[in-house]
């Protein structure tokens, strides 16, 4: 049976697609799911979060993925990026995809199906596939939505991000003509500053106004916690891994009286962000596997 293929997509950069892809994929892998993460962004930021960015032995800048799409070449993911987590690497080679698509169409291929066809032979080996979409690149976004079974749209609460929702809704409608089973799982609020519910209510109303009832706002929000987000990415770690490291290196309680509590404070905000990602991963897995049996080999879940 095909696993759920979850795409994080928006029409805008900086709304959390890569952070969500890496952290949800990494946590699901920790929970025992076999996960494949696919980086469709020419910027290749997924490799920063997972620590293989710029490592020549592992980071091919998206070359293998582009060649698989262009020549039907078989695709080998980067294996064991974490236990249970493999990655199809993205990067600058993907910049050529849109230009090549025209020639694929001339050859009689449906260009936006090329990604789905490249991934097809692989996906059966996983419980969950997660796609990190590029911000503006329309062809790759449409390709992702043709390959996906579910879409989650992350948004910040500012006007520009909310305007981006309409654009991604358009892409979704187009993709649905080619991939009629595609489901819009919902909108996730990312980098939310307000602790109160007023802002969330206001944003939810705006989302309803632009998307109608088709996309519910997910229960879990990712709070605005820039320091641990930046700290984790700088070190090539997922947020829960970064938190673990901070806790391990924090001063012991008897040393703490004199030490400045900077490092411990850092562990506190990392813990909050890690808690948000864990809750979101649990919410997404519950929805994705609600009408499926939990994969038999997944230990300790569901
Ligand atoms: N919880 C957070 N709070 C505030 N800023 C964050 C948070 N998580 C990530 N960021 C920052 O937001 C920026 C965009 O995140 P990213 O996941 O790369 O978005 P996208 O893939 O949509 O472009 C990054 O610079 C990152 O440091
Ligand atoms: Mg990104």
**Model confidence pLDDT, tens digit, residues 60-86:** 999 999 999 999 899 999 999 999 999
Q: What percent of the chain has pLDDT over 70?
A: 90
**Are the CB atoms for 20 and 221 separated by under 8 Å?**
no
**Ligand lying nearest the CA atom of residue 164:** 1
Contacts of the segment 229-237: beta carbons below 8 A, 24+ positions apart: 229/19, 229/273, 231/266, 231/270, 232/49, 232/270, 233/19, 233/48, 233/49, 235/51, 236/48, 236/49, 236/50, 236/51, 236/52, 236/53, 237/49, 237/51
Q: How confident is the model at residue 297 (pLDDT cuts 50, 70, 90)?
A: low
Q: CA distances (Å), 126 to each of 9, 80, 87, in order?
A: 21, 13, 11
**Are the CB atoms for 25 and 127 separated by under 8 Å?**
no
Q: How confident is the model at residue 296 (pLDDT cuts 50, 70, 90)?
A: low
Q: Could you tell me the distance, in angstroms and rounded to a whole number, from the CA of residue 258 to the centre of ligand 1? A: 34
Q: Is the pLDDT of residue 164 over 80?
A: no
Instruction: Give the mean model confidence (pLDDT) for residues 273-300.
Output: 86
Q: How confident is the model at residue 300 (pLDDT cuts 50, 70, 90)?
A: very low
Take atom 14 of ligand 1 and give the residue whose Cα is closest: 14
Tens-digit pLDDT profile for residues 7-18: 999 878 899 999
**Are the CB atoms for 132 and 21 separated by under 8 Å?**
yes
For ligand 1, say whether the CB of 234 is within 6 Å of any of its atoms.
no
Q: What does pLDDT average to over the chain?
A: 89
pTM, entire model? 0.92
For ligand 1, say whether the CB of 45 is within 6 Å of any of its atoms.
yes
Instruction: Give the mean model confidence (pLDDT) for residues 282-295.
Output: 88
Higher pLDDT, 164 or 237: 237
Q: Could you tell me the distance, in angstroms and rounded to a whole number, from the CA of residue 220 to the centre of ligand 1? A: 16
Q: Could you tell me the distance, in angstroms and rounded to a whole number, from the CA of residue 135 to the centre of ligand 2? A: 7
Q: What is the pLDDT of residue 138?
A: 87
Q: Is the pLDDT of residue 301 over 50?
A: no
Fold for the domain defined by 5-225+276-288: Rossmann fold (3.40.50)
Q: Could you tell me the distance, in angstroms and rounded to a whole number, from the CA of residue 3 to the centre of ligand 1? A: 27
DSSP state of 38: E
């Amino acid at each position: 049976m095909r696993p759920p293929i979850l795409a994080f997509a928006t029409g805008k950069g900086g709304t959390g697609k890569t952070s969500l892809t890496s952290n949800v994929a990494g946590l699901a892998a920790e929970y025992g799911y076999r996960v494949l993460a696919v980086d469709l962004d020419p910027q290749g930021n997924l490799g920063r979060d997972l620590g293989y960015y710029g490592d020549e032995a592992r980071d091919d800048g998206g070359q293998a993925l582009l060649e698989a799409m262009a020549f039907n070449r078989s695709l080998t993911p980067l294996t064991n990026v974490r236990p249970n987590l493999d990655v199809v690497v993205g990067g600058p080679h993907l910049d050529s995809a849109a230009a090549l698509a025209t020639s694929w169409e001339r050859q009689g291929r449906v260009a936006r199906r090329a990604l789905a066809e490249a991934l097809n032979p692989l996906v059966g080996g996983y419980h969950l596939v997660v796609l990190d979409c590029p911000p503006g690149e329309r062809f790759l976004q449409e390709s992702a939505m043709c390959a996906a079974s579910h879409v989650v749209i992350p948004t910040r609460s500012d006007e520009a991000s909310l305007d981006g929702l309409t654009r991604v809704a358009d892409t979704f409608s187009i993709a649905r003509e080619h991939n009629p089973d595609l489901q819009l799982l919902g909108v996730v609020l990312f980098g939310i500053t307000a602790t109160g519910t007023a802002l969330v209510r206001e944003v939810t109303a705006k989302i309803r106004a632009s998307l109608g009832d088709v996309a519910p706002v997910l229960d879990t929000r990712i709070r605005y916690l820039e320091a641990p987000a930046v700290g984790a990415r700088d070190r090539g770690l997922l947020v829960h891994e970064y938190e673990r490291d901070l806790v391990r290196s924090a001063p012991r309680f008897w040393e703490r009286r004199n030490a400045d509590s900077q490092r411990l404070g850092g562990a506190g905000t990392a813990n909050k962000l890690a808690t948000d990602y864990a809750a979101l991963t649990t919410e997404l897995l519950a929805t994705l596997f609600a009408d499926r049996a939990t994969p038999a080999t997944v230990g300790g879940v569901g």
